[in-house]
Chains A and B, each alone.
Chain A
Amino acid sequence: MKRTYSITDTRASRIVKNFFFVVLLLYTLIAVALILITVLSSFKTKSDLVQNTLGFPQSFTLDNYEQVLLKDKFWLYFINSTILTVGGVALLLFISSMVGYGLSKFHFKGRNGIRTYFLMGLMFPIQLGILPLFIMLRSLDLINNLFGLILLYAANMSFAVFVLSNFLRTVPNALIECARIDGASEFRIYRKIILPMARPVLSTVGLISFVTMWNDFYMPLVFLTKESVRTLTLGVYRYMNNFLENWHLVFAAVTVALVPVIVVFFLFSNQIIAGLTGGAVKE
């Protein structure tokens, strides 16, 4: 690792740097400690947890997980969260990449107007439309329905369309023209040329959407009220409401909800961080 120590690196500035190093170390230890405590506590028995709140488990038990996953149906919440996230990401990527292609590689009247129309969605806070959405989904019988929420997630495509159409503009026209001359249908061009070329951007947008949808609390809170469609975040929330009763179980529940997102984050951290923040500056 390259360090920028220079001739101006006086003793005083090194002390300041060490001070900040300690600050950052303590700061980041909060997250490490909280995650460790949660995971360790999930293996403790109830009495162990009461007597030895912060320590290492006296004896590892999987009873909490058995209770949480099987009896309290977190296996179902896990499947629901998975269906919601996978379905939402897939539909969002499919629809927004088609729109991105249509808006970047075809010239037609009103194209800029449509582009602006898609960008408008970035302006509206989610709460503005949520009440009408509730009424609409209720009349379509899509309340308490994972598919209804998947549609909503995919419909919020402003950011994805923006990123994808900007990227697809850089795909060489010659490539598309060649395929067209060879007699490929428009949809075939999209599938065989556009999608493979857009893979890096698709995966970034997909990762960000995965994190957002997996973690989402507000939309499931409003649209999914029945147990059969409950997601992991809602399951955790319900346990928290009865914190005292479920104290030993909450840790296992949180661990189940936390682990997938942490694994994905550490595997793809660069892509996720750049995707969540980089696009904002380079508009």
Chain B
Amino acid sequence: MRVKQLSVFLENKSGRLAEVLSLLAKAGVNLRALSLADTRDFGVLRVIVDDVAKAHAVLKEHGVTASETDVLAVEVPDQPGGLAGILELLGRQNVSVEYMYAFVAKSGDKAIMVFRFDNLDQAAGALQRGGVRILTGKELYSL
């Protein structure tokens, strides 16, 4: 149920994101989803890849600071109010979202969002009780 996200520390300087992504490309790692959060001086790149262990090892080998983070990949109805409905459901259960971003591929006719929660188990329970489908890592990487 949990999906591993690779989180990468990046300095805010031109060309750095390209350098890190090309390290992954050379290792044959495919990106499935990506988000970048930044401040004035630094940023955090968050990616879902097809092979987390390999991607992590490659970055480590090149001295890039990265860690693996548990996130949930959730099916979201691809229609107006689809995401709002899920956030309301979570809100009613007092689950807070740390951050989220969209997945590139679709699952059937549904969109996929990646969520990072402060309390992942509580969030998963709330979603499941609300009838929201959570994708497994296997499903996700094979999309």
Q: A and B from one assembly?
A: no
**Residues of chain A at the chain B interface (Cβ within 8 Å):** none
B residues with a Cβ closer than 8 A to A are none
